[in-house]
Amino acid sequence: EDKVVQSPLSLVVHEGDTVTLNCSYEVTNFRSLLWYKQEKKAPTFLFMLTSSGIEKKSGRLSSILDKKELFSILNITATQTGDSAVYLCAGETSGSRLTFGEGTQLTVNP
Amino acid sequence: GAVVSQHPSWVICKSGTSVKIECRSLDFQATTMFWYRQFPKQSLMLMATSNEGSKATYEQGVEKDKFLINHASLTLSTLTVTSAHPEDSSFYICSARDSGSGRRAKNIQYFGAGTRLSVL
């Protein structure tokens, strides 16, 4: 059975801090690793990672995948209160099935 | 771009009634859509994969007669919860896979805003 584990499950930081969110996966017929941000309802897409060692960046967010260690991290620098959300990691199979982790609840205090 | 609309956002129904939830891809075509269920403070659990023009594929433990899925067009999938009971109360959320056109990346699933179902 496919499995995705995220850590930490929750994190409280102050504005301006840098955070690293972790995701490990065991997915049969693995195709990609995706990160989503879920604030209230709809998860919004952040990154899709398919290749090891290639960092993807979008503003203050960046992510990288290690296919040997079956691991990904999501970094957020200079955090803002608007970054407060649940960050979800999902492993995708070649058949497009997503297995989600439990998510990391990030709270950024002013 | 890549917007997925889900309707209704919240529905309350009596036990024994059926409820239909719609999922539409607004600015792209989606041959494949997915239905998830999310319990409070838990992650999304895949229920079924909906393919346009063919039968849905259900995950283990999901009753196909209970959760009817229809994917009649490239932009619309529906989930009908039949004879709903209180234990069916949950947050149901759909996604649509963008096969990618033009500059958009392929195979990304975009999510609707979800439907909160409360069965009395």
Which residues on adjacent β-strands are paired with residue B97?
B109
Number of Cα atoms under 13 Å in the Cβ half of residue B50: 30
* Inter-chain CB proximity B43 and A100 less than 8 Å: yes
- Three-state DSSP class for residue A81: helix
A102: β partners = none
Q: Tokens 């009817």 correspond to what residue?
A: B68
What is the nearest CA distance from B41 to chain A, expressed in angstroms?
8
CB contacts under 8 A, B 25-54 vs A, are 32, 34, 42-46, 49
pLDDT for B101: 65
| Phi-psi domain of A29 (left: phi exceeds 0; alpha: psi -120 through 50; beta: other) | left
Cross-chain CB nearest to A98 (options B6, B105, B109): B109
The four Cα atoms A63, A68, A70, A71 give a dihedral, to 10 degrees, of -30
Distance CA A38, CA A45 (A): 9
Residue B1's pLDDT band, with cuts at 50, 70 and 90, is: low
Half-sphere exposure of B10 (CA within 13 A, CB side): 1
Q: Which residues pair with A73 in a beta bridge?
A: A22, A64
Q: Please determine, for residue B47, whether its predicted confidence score (pLDDT) is greater than 90.
A: yes
Distance CA A88, CA A69 (A): 19
Of chain B, the end-to-end C-alpha distance in Å amounts to 37
**Backbone angles phi and psi of B14, in degrees to 5:** -85, 150
- Among A24, A18, A35, A20, CA closest to A2: A24
> Best of B98, B111, B115 to disrupt the A interface by mutation (most A CBs within 10 Å)?
B111
What mean pLDDT value characterizes chain A?
95
Measured distance CA(B79)–CA(B94) in Å, rounded = 9
Nearest-CA distance from A98 to chain B in Å?
Answer: 7
CB pairs under 8 A between A and B: 53
Higher pLDDT, B64 or B72: B64
Examine the pLDDT at A96 and tell me if it is beyond 90.
no
CA A8 to chain centre: 11
- Decide if A99 touches B, using CB distance below 8 A: yes
- pLDDT by residue (tens digit) across A45-91? 999 999 888 899 999 999 999 999 999 999 999 999 999 999 999 99
- A101: chain B residues, CB-CB within 8 Å: 43
Provide the 3-class DSSP secondary structure of residue A48: strand
Which of chain A's residues have a Cβ under 8 Å away from the Cβ of B30?
none
